[in-house]
Amino acid sequence: MTIQDKLAELRHSTLEKLKQANLEKSKEIQDLRVEVLGKKGSLTEILKGLKDLSAEERPVIGKYVNEVRDVLTEAFDNANALIEEEKIAMQLASETIDVTLPGKPVAVGNRHVLTQTAEELEDIFLGMGFQVVDGFEVEKDYYNFERMNLPKDHPARDMQDTFYITEEILLRTHTSPVQARTMDQHDFSNGPLKMVSPGRVFRRDTDDATHSHQFHQIEGLVVGENISMGDLKGTLQLISQKMFGEDRKIRLRPSYFPFTEPSVEVDVSCFKCGGEGCNVCKKTGWIEILGAGMVHPSVLEMSGIDSEKYSGFAFGLGQERIAMLRYGINDIRGFYQGDARFSEQFKG
């Protein structure tokens, strides 16, 4: 038998076997493929005889070998495709999909409780005619300290050490630098300046249940003619009532900030015991919520504002502090850990 005959015979017999193969048994076809086209298969075996051919015969037979290989490869591929199709057809015939089954519920997130607190405060202030202003988290030493009446050697800087980018650029320690930036821009012919500015601040503080090295404040500032301590008290009274309930009272205690004179700490009467004394207010009946005061004349003058004609009040409150008191959160670190179980409690 010549090589050509052997090839013709292999082609014929393989195609016949493929025709008869049980299509449901794809293994049968895979085995046949290895048997015929595999490395040690029948085709390879026949090709061993190529070496005995003459130089003239070799290209002719070579061409024929390729033709047989192509025909058989295609035949196996077709058989496999047919098997795949049959499989899918069988699956479709046996499977039904119940389109009326309820779907999987999509988990809906919610705004972070600090964002909610800030937005609620912003809404109250917007209602009182304040504008909401953005500040810079990376701030100049000049605005964070010097314009707040804290020159380079001022001892009160020690209370607000921070992360320095360069000697002159730092992560702001409070939202107060926004005061100077907005006062610089304000045109009093358009009326008094009334703004709030929420944002993140940074300090070299040791983290514990009530302190974090980064937290959030809301700055408030009003500058105009005849602005008095009474306006400050009235504004803060309203905020406390809106945030903690109508019955809340506030009290001002003398304090010190270099950028306000006089300066006060502001306490709100305890929302839990109503002033009787309990574990929330540490038996005092009062809870401290913010620092405030009348804007220091030097701070006004540094913005080119005539302190004889204009006066103002400012305050800075801790957003975490407000949220912790409102919702009875006892550890500030919960705000930053990204635990969904914490956030889900404040869906609103």
Q: Which residues make up each annotated binding site for Mg(2+)?
A: 261
User: Whose CB is nearest to ligand FA5?
Assistant: 318
Write the CA distances from 111 to 219, 245, 296, integer angstroms. 21, 23, 37
Helix, strand, or coil (residue 258): coil
Does the protein bind ligand FA5 through residue 125 (CB under 6 A)? no
Cα of 113 vs its chain's centroid, Å: 14
* Residue from 215, 271, 286, 335 binding ligand FA5 (CB under 6 A): 215
Cα of 107 vs its chain's centroid, Å: 16
Helix, strand, or coil (residue 216): strand
- The CA-CA-CA angle for residues 199, 203, 206, to 5°, reads 125
CB-neighbour burial class of residue 112 (10 A; exposed 0-12, middle 13-18, buried 19+): middle
The pattern of x and - marking residues 271 through 310 that bind ligand FA5 according to CB under 6 A reads -------------------xxxx-----------------
Does the protein bind ligand FA5 through residue 135 (CB under 6 A)? no
Backbone angles phi, psi at 111, to 5 degrees: -65, 145
Q: Which residues pair with 250 in a beta bridge?
A: 268
Does the protein bind ligand FA5 through residue 346 (CB under 6 A)? no
Which runs of E-coded beta strand occur in 153-230? Answer: 169-171, 193-202, 214-224
Nearer to ligand FA5 (CB atom), residue 33 or residue 174: 174
Q: Is residue 275 within 8 Å of residue 285, measured between CB atoms? A: yes
Nearer to ligand FA5 (CB atom), residue 14 or residue 173: 173
Stretch that binds ligand FA5, among 26-34, 65-73, 210-218, 274-282 (CB under 6 A): 210-218
Does the protein bind ligand FA5 through residue 318 (CB under 6 A)? yes
# chain residues binding ligand FA5, by CB under 6 A: 22
Q: Is residue 330 within 8 Å of residue 298, measured between CB atoms? A: no
Q: Is residue 110 within 8 Å of residue 340, measured between CB atoms? A: no
Q: Is residue 220 within 8 Å of residue 198, measured between CB atoms? A: no
Does the protein bind ligand FA5 through residue 316 (CB under 6 A)? yes
Instruction: Provide the minimum distance between the beta carbon of 122 and ligand FA5 in the complex, in angstroms, as a whole number.
Output: 17
Does the protein bind ligand FA5 through residue 217 (CB under 6 A)? yes
Does the protein bind ligand FA5 through residue 212 (CB under 6 A)? yes
Instruction: Provide the minimum distance between the beta carbon of 98 and ligand FA5 in the complex, in angstroms, as a whole number.
Output: 54
Instruction: Provide the minimum distance between the beta carbon of 252 and ligand FA5 in the complex, in angstroms, as a whole number.
Output: 12
Instruction: Provide the minimum distance between the beta carbon of 242 and ligand FA5 in the complex, in angstroms, as a whole number.
Output: 18
* Residue from 240, 260, 269, 303 binding ligand FA5 (CB under 6 A): 260
CA distance linking residue 134 with residue 122, whole number of Å: 12
Stretch that binds ligand FA5, among 32-40, 46-54, 300-308, 311-319 (CB under 6 A): 311-319
Does the protein bind ligand FA5 through residue 174 (CB under 6 A)? yes
* Residue 300 CB contacts under 8 Å (≥ 6 apart), including other chains: 183, 223, 306, 307, 310, 311, 312
Instruction: Provide the minimum distance between the beta carbon of 168 and ligand FA5 in the complex, in angstroms, as a whole number.
Output: 20
CA distance linking residue 203 with residue 209, whole number of Å: 15
Nearer to ligand FA5 (CB atom), residue 69 or residue 211: 211
* Of 321, 48, 68, residue with least CA distance to 211: 321
Does the protein bind ligand FA5 through residue 315 (CB under 6 A)? yes
Q: Which residues bind ligand FA5 (CB under 6 A)?
A: 174, 176, 203, 205, 211-212, 215, 217, 257, 260, 290-293, 314-318, 320-321, 332
